[in-house]
Structure 1
Amino acid sequence: MRHLGGFILLVFLISCNSDSTNRNPYLQEVSFRFDVNLSLPLYSGLNNIGNPVYIGANGLGTRGAFVMRAGLSGSQFVAFEASCPNHTPNSCSTMTIDGQNVVCGCEGFTYNLFTGQQLDRPDDGKRYYDLLFYRATESGNVVTISN
C-alpha cells in the first residue's frame, strides 16, 4: 500500500507542467480589467448579436480588443486582442473589422470573431496562432473584459 501511495504521488509530480511561457510568443500576457457600460452610445453596437466593436482604450490588452455579443440567445460576449497574433506588435499590427471578421494590415490574415480562428492559414509548415482570447462577463448593463 505504501508503494502505491508513492507511485500516485510520482504520477502527480510528473504530470505537473512548469512551462510558464505565454500562450502566444508574439503577444505578452498583460493583466487587466476593463468595464464596458452598454448604456453608453460608444458601445451601443454591442446590444446586437454579431456586431463587433473595437475598443482601443489604454490598459485594455496590448492594442485594445474586439468585443462582440455572441451565442444563440445573445447572452454571451467574446473579446479578443486587437493586435495580430502572428507577429510582434508594430505599426500595422492593429487589425480592422471586416463584417464579423478582423483583418491584419501587415499580411492580410483574416480571423473570425465568433471563434477566434484564422480563416486563411497558409499551408507552409509554419506555426500560426489564432486570436488571443480575453474573458468577457456581463453583469447587469456592464461587460467586464479581463485577462
Structure 2
Amino acid sequence: MKKICLFIVFISVLFSCSDSSNSNKNPNIPNYSINAYLDYNLPLYNNLKFISNPVFVSNYGAKGLIVMKTGEGTYNAFDAACPNQALASCTAMTIDGINAVCSCDKTSYNLFTGQGGQEYPMKQYRVELTGTVIHVYN
C-alpha cells in the first residue's frame, strides 16, 4: 500500500509541474533564444529601479522586450509582439502605464500578468536579478 501511495504522490507532482499555460506555446510568436543583461544603473534602464515603470528593450525576441519591476527583487519580461496577431501584421506593442497595447487590435495586456482577455497572453521570459543586473532569458 505504501508503494502505491508513493507512486500516486510522484505522479501528482509530475503533472502539477507541467506547463499548461498558453504563454509560451503561441503559434504567432517564434521561439527566439533570449539572453539579455540589463543593468538598471545605466540611464536606458534606470526606470527598472522602480515598481510599475516598464521599459522597452529593442533587438531581442520577435519585436523587442517589455520589462517591468513588479515588486522588491521581482521582474516580469514579455515579448513585445502582439500575441494574438500574425507576427508580420503588427508593429511592437506600446507601453501605456502598466499595460502593453497591441498596434493592430488595440488589445491591452497587463504587465503584471501578461493577460489581455484574448486566447493567448503575452509571451513571457524568465528573469533573474543579480545585484543591479537583470538577466532575461529562456
Q: TM-score by structure 2 length?
A: 0.80
2:109 is the alignment partner of 1:107: no
- The alignment yields a C-alpha RMSD, in angstroms, of 2.2
How many Å apart are 1:91 and its aligned residue? 5.2
The equivalent position to 1:56 in structure 2, one of 55, 58, 67, is 58
Report the Cα distance in structure 2 between the residues aligned to 1:84 and 1:142, rounded to whole angstroms.
Answer: 27
Report the Cα distance in structure 2 between the residues aligned to 1:108 and 1:32, rounded to whole angstroms.
Answer: 26
Other structure's SS at 1:90 match: helix
The equivalent position to 2:130 in structure 1, one of 120, 136, 139, is 139
Question: How many residue pairs end up in the alignment?
Answer: 123
Q: Give a deviation string over 1:1-25, Cα, whole Å, max 9, x none.
A: xxxxxxx8xxx8xx999xxxx6101
Query: What does 1:13-92 align with in structure 2 at a 5 Å threshold?
Result: 23-57=25-59, 60-71=60-71, 74-90=72-88, 92=90
Structure 1: 5+ residue stretches without partners: 1-7, 122-127
**Structure index of larger Rg:** 1
Other structure's SS at 2:48 match: helix
Q: TM-score by structure 1 length?
A: 0.75
Q: Which runs of 4+ in 1 moved over 4 A?
A: none
Q: Give a deviation string over 1:95-134, Cα, whole Å, max 9, x none.
A: 0001100110101111000000014x4xxxxxx1000000
Counterpart residue number, 1:5: none
How many Å apart are 1:32 and its aligned residue? 2.1
Structure 2: 5+ residue stretches without partners: 1-6, 19-23
Report the Cα distance in structure 1 between the residues aligned to 2:40 and 2:109, rounded to whole angstroms.
Answer: 25
Report the Cα distance in structure 1 between the residues aligned to 2:65 and 2:34, rounded to whole angstroms.
Answer: 12
Report the Cα distance in structure 2 between the residues aligned to 1:133 and 1:32, rounded to whole angstroms.
Answer: 11
How many Å apart are 1:92 and its aligned residue? 2.5
